[in-house]
């Protein structure tokens, strides 16, 4: 258990020291999944499940952080958790966006939803916008709900 604690602390120090590198990895990961992932129903189900788990994580975030600190003696920064959730948002939005772009009837009101989805994907990419939104809990949960809804469709 001590090795796990040391490894986690080392990783968290790395995150604090090179935050730009971690953001770059998240962005490259999102772009790679957008370009390379074969979009199958089974993968869509996995992403929807990941979104549901991350929804629970968001709701229980503070109590889980306190429990981890008490049980393992590890203080996980809220920023690290927000970053992980941002990656989930990027992956989910850029996974479903091509489906919506292809199937949207552009002369209908469905266009509004697809454009909102593209806007949400853009917000998930731009760190200053995303973190400004994340400071407002109600807006953050609304964004997550919208992303979850799109992934479940």
**pLDDT reported for residue 110:** 95
pLDDT tens profile 90-141? 878 887 888 898 899 999 999 999 999 999 999 988 888 888 998 898 998 8
Q: Report whether pLDDT(38) > 80.
A: no
Asked whether 101 and 114 are in contact (CB, 8 A), the reply is yes
**pLDDT reported for residue 37:** 59
Q: How many domains does the chain have?
A: 1
Task: Give the 3-state secondary structure of 27-82.
Answer: HHHHHHHHHHCCCCHHHHHHHHHHHHHHHHHHHHHHHHHHHHHHHHCCCCCHHHHH
Print the domain residue range for 126.
2-152
**pLDDT reported for residue 143:** 94
| Distance between CA atoms of residues 9 and 91, nearest Å | 26
**pLDDT reported for residue 48:** 72
Mean pLDDT, rounded, for 30-37:
64
| Distance between CA atoms of residues 55 and 143, nearest Å | 11
**pLDDT reported for residue 106:** 94
CA end-to-end span of the chain: 41
Distance of CA 56 to the CA centre of its chain: 13
Mean pLDDT, rounded, for 36-48:
67
Q: Report whether pLDDT(1) > 60.
A: no
pLDDT tens profile 10-25? 877 877 777 667 667 6
**pLDDT reported for residue 27:** 66
């Amino acid at each position: 258990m001590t090795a796990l604690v040391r490894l986690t602390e080392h990783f968290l120090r790395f995150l604090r020291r090179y935050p730009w590198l971690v953001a770059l990895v998240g962005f490259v990961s999102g772009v790679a999944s957008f370009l390379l992932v074969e979009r199958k129903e089974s993968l869509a189900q996995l992403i929807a499940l990941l979104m549901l788990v991350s929804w629970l994580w968001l709701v229980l975030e503070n109590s889980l952080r306190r429990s981890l600190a008490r049980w393992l003696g590890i203080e996980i920064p809220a920023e690290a958790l927000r970053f992980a959730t941002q990656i989930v948002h990027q992956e989910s939005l850029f996974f479903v966006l091509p489906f919506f772009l292809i199937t949207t009837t552009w002369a209908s009101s469905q266009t509004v939803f697809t454009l909102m989805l593209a806007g949400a994907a853009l917000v998930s990419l731009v760190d200053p916008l995303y973190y400004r939104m994340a400071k407002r809990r109600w807006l953050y949960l609304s964004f997550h709900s919208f992303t979850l809804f799109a992934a479940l469709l």
